[in-house]
Structure 1
Amino acid sequence: MTMTRNLCDSGSVSPPPATAGTRPAPRLSPLVLLSLGALAWRFGFGVYRAIYNNFLVEVHGIRPEQLGLIESIREVPGLLVVFLVALVAGLAPSLVTGAACLLLAAGLLLYPFAGGFGHLVAITLLFSTGFHMLFPPQNSLVLHHAGEGKKGQWLGRIEGVGSAAALGAMAMTALLVSRLGFRGLFFLGAAVALGGAVAFFLTPGPDRLMVRSRGLGLRREYFSYYVMTLVQGARRHFFLVFALYNLVEVHEVPTATVATLLTVSGVALVATRPLLGRLADRFGETRVLAWCFGLVAAVFTGYAFVRDVRLIYLLFFLDSVLTFELVIVLYAYRIARGEGVAAALAGGSTVGHITGVIVPFVGGLIWKFAGPSATFLFGTAVCLFGLFHAVRVGRRQALEAPARPSPSSPA
């Protein structure tokens, strides 16, 4: 994203100097404000993640096909985020980020008042629009304020702050759900997220959010990467939608236990993500992807046939920590060096959200007419396809490697 100059640099009148005997009001730095904003909205999202499925089942009795439709609609803003951001490109990124955070907070606030399926769809669409609109302007503000050589460091710091806030929210939910109930927790998440919106509104920055429109950025030479992203997107939504629904609807796992499982697996992810990256560096991305797709296929098969809830907890934990988007990003970097990486990743994001719209809807219908085992076996088949694709691409790379010069070789 291209940034214009800050309003303070574009001829605006400077405030008068402080008179003798007075102190200027202390101001938080922009990066501190952005950190507070990220902490607040990720806390609200953590509360949502911990209670959402139990809320749908226990309060509204949502059926699987209804859940699939809600989740498909939830992913539509993610599919259209490029166009949504383009619509607000003339506004200040701090304004866009604050408004997106307000939408997210409004969704959390309204969930307890939902009167039925139609209300849930509308509120989820509102919440999801805010969620998906947050990332582009928030990241552009971080990049704008971070000094040269520290941009990646600050992106990582703020992501770390947000992840810690989400984990804290889920742990808190496990402790307080019996006292506050769904309504109280939604209100708490909304109040904290509202504080994040205030922090974003107070963050200075450019007067316009500039976006380079290049369409969807799909290219034929990145086809193998798009296929992997497509399969990973499908696998992700089998987990987010149906693995959680399986815990709540089929095995009647209470909210506190779900929140505890999410917290424990989230902490474990801190270790497994770097581990997968190191394995990819050592053995190659396609080999690690084949292992991951194979393991997830086994987990989904377990969901289909295991009835012991303790084993279901173990499967859910394994499913949670097998988050390997990082390995797919590394593969994209391998095949699309230089400026092509951004185009490949942008196209991959679009492709991933396509499965986000399709998989929940189709999986919900399969659950309704054939049962949960059929839904998870469908997921197994998708992951096995991913495994065979990764093996095929790896073999092709091995055949092409001797004839292809390394990036460090002289031209």
Structure 2
Amino acid sequence: MIEIKKNPMYNYLFFLIVAAAISHQVWGTLFNNFAVDVVGINGFQMGLIQSIREIPGFLTFLVIYVLLVIKEHRLSALSTILMGLGVAITGLFPTVQGLIITTFLMSLGFHYFETTNKSLTLQHFNKKEAPVVFGRFSSYGAIASIIAGFFIWISVKLLPIWTNYLIYGIVIMIIGVYSLFKNPIFKETVPQRKGMVVKKKYWLYYVLNFLSGARRQIFIAFAVFLLVQNYGFSVSEVAVLFVLNNLLIYFTAPKVAEGINNLGERKMLTIEYLTLTFVFLGYAFIENRNIAVLLYIIDHIVFSFAIGINTYFQKTADSEDIAPSMGVGFAINHISAVIIPVVGGILWMTNWKTPFIMGAVFSVISLFFVQKIPKHVKILQN
């Protein structure tokens, strides 16, 4: 067991992780029912909105230029405030155009926070500590999501959806404002390169990010949509499912971190993509409400295995490349993420099974490239 000495950066990121978890829980729980029941969107419009949601992820390569004028930890806090604003005003614009605008704002904050969060973690914790910190943050996020899910389950019975969006969005913004005035820097780190960094030796990191974005978006865009549209899940049922998922993540995320340290990134990512191949095929060919729920839970659990892509990069990259490469990696991840949902939405209108078959194909391709990771990764930096 690796002990992590808590420090100001650990505590700083903890609060922002909680805010991001609340945002993800609120948006994920309410969005599909709000979009279907209030706005009345169809499968194509869902895919279009999900694609637009990922455009900020594609733009994360610009983060390195933003960091020329804003310190990285402050950008994390500002991103959280923007995330909360997007959530808060979602219910005030119950149209397709309104969903597009508010989703874009929320997503811009979320993706810039995710980029800086990963970068700060890799810079301030060593190669043995980083997987454990990622695992713990996943657990903390899961607990925050469980608590938020519990309150959502109650509040949707008492208040209209737009009020729920507003209240939870304000809570997220308050956490961001609080963090904005904190200084978590407790030690000097290797100065990061200014400007974009793209290197041939990082090609596998780029490929794995691209494929991860493709399969992840099929899950995000269509898994819950399947439960709501095909199996008639209510807001309360979706909230309960999210709580169950996060309860499992709380216990499994630290084990994933241990697995990365003990087994290595190659084996853990192999398990992830092998599992996902069968999960996506199950979505497509097993038309059973309870099986769909089970597959969703499994899908959600193996989601956390993807931290192995970042820890693999940390072990093989030059220290000064971490911050700019996180932005580039996130942007590459979202090239596929911008395209896949809208394409999947078009395919859904023809046959709803097709996006999930496409997910299985991406999982098999990912499985192939994961084998390119050396069995014993040579650590290039001290």
Any conservation in 2 of the 1:299–1:319 contact (CA below 8 Å)? yes
Q: How far 1:318 moved relative to its partner?
A: 0.8
Structure 2 gap segments, 5+ residues each: 1-7, 186-190
Aligned pair partner of 2:347 in 366, 383, 394 = 366
Aligned pair partner of 2:369 in 378, 384, 389 = 389
Post-superposition Cα deviations, 1:193-219, rounded to whole Å, max 9, x if no partner, equal 23223313433579xxx974331x232
Q: How far 1:303 moved relative to its partner?
A: 0.7
> Residues of 1 paired with 2:184 and 2:264: CA distance?
41
Structural mapping, 1:6-405, within 5 Å = 36=15, 38-40=17-19, 42-84=21-63, 86-87=65-66, 89-91=68-70, 96-135=75-114, 161-203=140-182, 212-215=193-196, 217-323=197-303, 324-333=305-314, 336-339=316-319, 342=322, 345-368=326-349, 370-391=350-371, 393=372, 397=374
> Residues of 1 paired with 2:340 and 2:204: CA distance?
20
Instruction: Describe the SS at the equivalent of 1:203.
Output: coil
Instruction: Describe the SS at the equivalent of 1:253.
Output: coil
For normalisation by structure 2, the TM-score amounts to 0.81
> Residues of 1 paired with 2:341 and 2:122: CA distance?
34
Any conservation in 1 of the 2:82–2:173 contact (CA below 8 Å)? no
Post-superposition Cα deviations, 1:108-151, rounded to whole Å, max 9, x if no partner, equal 2221121421121111112222223335667899999x999xx9
Instruction: Describe the SS at the equivalent of 1:169.
Output: helix
> Residues of 2 paired with 1:266 and 1:140: CA distance?
24
- State the structure with more CA Rg: 1
Aligned to 1:8: none
For normalisation by structure 1, the TM-score amounts to 0.75
Q: How far 1:35 moved relative to its partner?
A: 5.0
Post-superposition Cα deviations, 1:54-101, rounded to whole Å, max 9, x if no partner, equal 211111121122111111111111221232562464246676555433
Change (3 A) 1:340 1:358: farther
Say what the alpha-carbon RMSD is for the aligned residues: 3.7
Instruction: Describe the SS at the equivalent of 1:80.
Output: helix
Change (3 A) 1:341 1:156: farther
Change (3 A) 1:169 1:185: same
Change (3 A) 1:345 1:175: same
The one-letter amino acid paired with 2:313 is A
Post-superposition Cα deviations, 1:345-390, rounded to whole Å, max 9, x if no partner, equal 554322212121121121111112x211111111111111122333
Q: How far 1:344 moved relative to its partner?
A: 5.5
The number of aligned residues is 364
Aligned to 1:25: none
The one-letter amino acid paired with 1:200 is S
Aligned to 1:9: none
Instruction: Describe the SS at the equivalent of 2:232.
Output: coil
Change (3 A) 1:248 1:163: same
> Residues of 1 paired with 2:367 and 2:125: CA distance?
41
79-88 or 286-295: bigger deviation: 79-88
- Report the identity percentage: 25
Any conservation in 2 of the 1:43–1:193 contact (CA below 8 Å)? yes
Instruction: Describe the SS at the equivalent of 2:353.
Output: helix
Change (3 A) 1:319 1:156: closer
> Residues of 2 paired with 1:211 and 1:337: CA distance?
12
Change (3 A) 1:191 1:330: closer
> Residues of 2 paired with 1:339 and 1:240: CA distance?
32
Change (3 A) 1:38 1:310: closer
Aligned to 1:18: none
